[in-house]
Amino acid sequence: MKTMRRRIRMKKMNLNQILEIIRNKDQFVITAHKSPDGDAIGSALALGLALKKIGKKVHYHLEQSMDKFRFIEETQKAIPIDQEQHFQIGFFLDTSDRDHLHDRTLMERCDQVVNIDHHVSNELYGDVNYVDPKASSVGEIIYDIIDGLSVELDREIALCLFTSITSDTGNFKYSNVTGKTHTIAAQLYRFNTDYASITRKLFDEITYEKTQLIASALGNLVLKKDGKLGLISLSKKELDQFSSSMEMEGVINFARDVEGVEVALLIRETDPKTFKVSLRSNTEFDVSKVALAFDGGGHKKAAGCTLKGSDIKTVQKELLEKIDL
């Protein structure tokens, strides 16, 4: 019979407990969520590089679709691990629940699971959980860990942290940016790195195929609730015109950025009768509550969930009933 993991809810003031775990152990694996974004990749690699600097043995267990982040040299070290390999400590980053993990079986191969996140909906699935919803990104938390370990920043760690923070703050324009975010960024800018070219790669460069996807999305953009809700829906038939690896990142912004829109939805049919939903808020409306109603999660301003339904119209109706603007 499997024993239940003991869960310890850690507060910000107890970050030193994670530092003690790091100091007392030698072997680590670092993982994140499915389809990792800049925060997941950047924070994972920054932590790994810092641990290596103090003599720790580090493995990464991340999805291999990291072409967008190849400007970070450490991505070359993120090679697949042995599926039977056991680890002393597993760091599970930027993942609010088990279902979104890249590989949930990894939990059973770690003596201790350390869950580090900034999603308010985090389910505290680790043996040790450190969740700070006030952090703009997991990168901010990793910066504090690196600082607590007295590991000196270098160009590569700074690049990873910058990738993490700028990705989850929309290049420092989202409401999750704080004075601390800018203070950390100032430390990262001490290194001679062309951050302008990095932000272009992360936010501006897109493939020609992506422009066609955007054109399709814009053709489906409609306004609901007296113009306060922007909605983009894409059927499986429409999505099948594009590469299966096509990034959807940024598509929802075209609905969110319409004048007068308070909440934006992107609904896409990923499989027959299965719909992945992204939600964004421009106001105090908490989209994470809508996502949670459908077993999803996220932040107040950005969340997601997956719904089953007979068709897009049915899913639209279910979602709109939960959004009172």
Between vectors from CA 193 to CA 245 and to CA 47, what angle results, nearest 5°?
A: 65
pTM of the model: 0.88
Of 1-5, 29-33, 77-81, 214-218, give the lowest mean pLDDT range: 1-5
Could you tell me the residue ranges of all domains in the chain? 8-203, 208-321
Among the four given CATH numbers 3.40.718.10, 3.40.47.10, 3.10.310.30, 3.40.640.10, the one describing domain 208-321? 3.10.310.30
- The β-bridge partners of 232 are 266
Q: Per-residue pLDDT averaged across 75-87, rounded? A: 93
Where does the pLDDT of residue 245 fall: very low under 50, low under 70, confident under 90, or very high at 90 and above?
A: low
Q: What's the pLDDT at 26?
A: 98
From first CA to last CA, the distance across the chain in angstroms is 49
φ, ψ of residue 31 to 5 degrees: the values are -135, 175
Do residues 255 and 285 make contact, with C-beta atoms less than 8 angstroms apart?
A: no
pLDDT digits (tens, 9 = 90+) for 50-71: 999 999 999 999 998 788 899 9
Architecture of the domain delimited by 8-203: Alpha-Beta Complex (3.90)
| Dist. CA 190–CA 158, nearest whole Å | 9
